[in-house]
A and B are shown apart, each in its own frame.
Chain A
């Protein structure tokens, strides 16, 4: 279950590029091609294996100048989808 303390990392077989306003992503092991919208693509950039979901929300809220509640809802939703699609995994607790 993803929470604000969860830390995510990109899976090593994930490759992606930003083609604004979209991001195209391929999971080599799949292989599956996905197309993400801009904010989901930016979220993928910020997933670094160190920053918590709360940190990602704060960063995106500042970047997009959006209400924290809206960003929190979107990030939790995107993160769950990315986790289910095996694009990201939960990082080991430090």
Chain B
């Protein structure tokens, strides 16, 4: 029964362009005002109606899409969030909800559990203290409220993952943030890279973490990974380096394309614009004009991205072991340099620091003793 593997299936989805994961930004409305929010709040267009979303979801079901992520903005700020979430559940998707958690108190969290039953709720944490977290969200009291809500959500049985972007503001609180989420019994994943806004605004880069901050994160992630592996009797693995991809949890295929952007995954903004990935905002079509079936089959933009993915894979592989440490994102490359093939400075730094930490760990006598 289980001869085929998930890995082979993901490989096939990338190779044969089988749409598997979709991220939908339901609205750019939000009850927080995060300094580094990447959404293009000036984007104009006709929002998709609830009926259009329901038709779109049905098309995705027919295309055998498994993963559906409801994002924003704050997705719960969409007036029909629960209707759409319940429809997604009814249509059999593995539903993820990316929320800031600010509104998910006991009542709404219970509704989410009962009506949507998401596979996972991803919530953002910006610091280990109110001063740091609230500085980022620009809403006083948001930290205390989030910590309370996380405990309630956990108690209700929601499966939660905490995400954090490493910044100059929270890089001295990494250990405390892990301690906080450990106390809450929740996993925490950092993204070590602040990105531009989707309109090209570079303001968020002003809180890019320092080299020392990234190094501190990688060291701590290695230590925690080794400790967890030792406790489980498992082999030591590389630390998780944050991704914003819809199918980030799937195992990377060994051959073919660099990632699944535009080949097994897409992102859709509130105005129906379709992109290869939430990080690769190259227009591929609009749902007001064409169905997702037509866009997926005929989009020139997606065809170009699929070709580029082959070329990127070829180039990254040619770099040898260093290439694997880049965690290269063609969307970030295109946004920051204009060229999806360019190895941008953030990727270079990440590879260099990961290599440094890996070398340190290899030399560590403590590691040998474990």
Interfacial residues, chain A to chain B (CB-CB below 8 A): 12-13, 15-19, 22, 24, 26, 28, 31, 33-37, 40, 77-78, 81
Cβ–Cβ < 8 Å partners of A15 in chain B: 66, 92-94, 119
- If A15-B93, A35-B6 touch, whether A24 touches B1 (CB-CB below 8 Å) is no
**7 A-B residue contacts at CB 8 Å?**
A15-B92, A22-B9, A28-B94, A36-B2, A37-B4, A77-B1, A78-B1
Contacts of A17 in B (CB 8 A): 64-66, 92
Given contacts A22-B9, A35-B8, 17 further A-B contacts (CB under 8 A): A13-B117, A15-B66, A15-B93, A15-B94, A17-B64, A17-B66, A19-B20, A19-B64, A22-B4, A24-B6, A24-B9, A24-B66, A31-B119, A31-B159, A33-B6, A77-B1, A81-B1
**Residue among A18, A28, A35 making CB contact with B4, cutoff 8 Å:** A35
Asked if B9 and A26 sit within 8 Å, CB to CB, the answer is: no
CB neighbours of B1 from chain A (8 A): 36-37, 40, 77-78, 81
Q: Which residue of A lies closest to B91 (CB)?
A: A15
CA distance A35 to B93 in the complex (A): 16
Q: Out of B6, B92, B119, which one reaches A16, CB within 8 Å?
A: B92
CB neighbours of B159 from chain A (8 A) = 28, 31
B5 lies within 8 A of chain A by Cβ: yes
Expressed in whole angstroms, the Cα–Cα distance for A37 and B4 within the complex equals 7
CB < 8 Å A-B pair total: 52
What separation, in Å, do the CA atoms of A26 and B119 have in the docked complex?
9
A17 to B264, CA, bound (A): 14
* Residue of B whose beta carbon sits closest to that of A28: B119
A19 partner residues in chain B, CB cutoff 8 A: 9, 12-13, 18, 20, 64
Q: Mark B63-90, 1 if CB is under 8 A from A, else 0.
A: 0111000000000000000000000000
Tell me, rounded to whole Å, the shortest Cβ–Cβ distance linking A58 to chain B: 21
| Distance between Cα atoms of A36 and B1 in the complex (Å) | 6
What's the minimum C-beta distance from B253 to chain A, rounded to whole angstroms? 14
When the two chains form their complex, are residues B3 and A37 in contact, meaning their CB atoms are under 8 A apart? yes
Main secondary structure of the interface of A (DSSP, over half): strand
Measured between beta carbons, the chain B residues less than 8 angstroms from A77 are 1
Residue-wise interface mask of B (259-290) relative to A, using a CB-CB cutoff of 8 A (1 in contact, 0 not): 00000000000000000000000000000000
Q: Which chain B positions have C-beta within 8 A of A16?
A: 66, 92
- Chain B nearest CB from A16 CB (Å) reads 7
Please, how many angstroms separate the alpha-carbon atoms of A37 and B5 in the complex? Answer: 10
Report the separation of the CA atoms of residues A37 and B9 in the bound assembly, to the nearest whole angstrom. Answer: 11
| Interchain CB contact under 8 A, B2 and A34 | yes
For residue B117, which residues in chain A have a CB less than 8 angstroms away from its CB? 12-13, 28
* Chain A neighbourhood of B4, CB < 8 A: 22, 35-37
Report the Cα distance A7→B276, complex, angstroms: 43
Q: How far is the CB of A39 from chain B (nearest CB, A)?
A: 9
A19 to B12 Cα, complex, angstroms: 9
Please tell me if the beta carbons of A35 and B92 are within 8 angstroms of each other in the complex: no
* A19 CA to B64 CA, complexed, in Å: 7
* Contact, CB under 8 Å: A35 / B2: yes
* Most B-side CB within 10 Å, residue of A26, A28, A35: A35
Chain A positions within 8 Å of B12 at CB level: 19
- Please give me the residue from chain B that is nearest to A78 by CB atom: B1
- A35 near B5: Cβ-Cβ < 8 Å: yes
- Contact partners of A78 in chain B: CB under 8 A: 1
Distance of A76 Cα from B13 Cα, bound (Å): 31
Q: How far is the CA of A26 from the CA of B117 in the complex (A)?
A: 14
**Which residue of chain B has the shortest Cβ distance to A10 in the bound complex?**
B92
| A26 vs chain B, min Cβ distance (A) | 6
Task: Mark out the residues of chain B between 1 and 56 whose CB falls within 8 Å of any chain A CB in the assembled complex.
Answer: 1-6, 8-9, 12-13, 18, 20
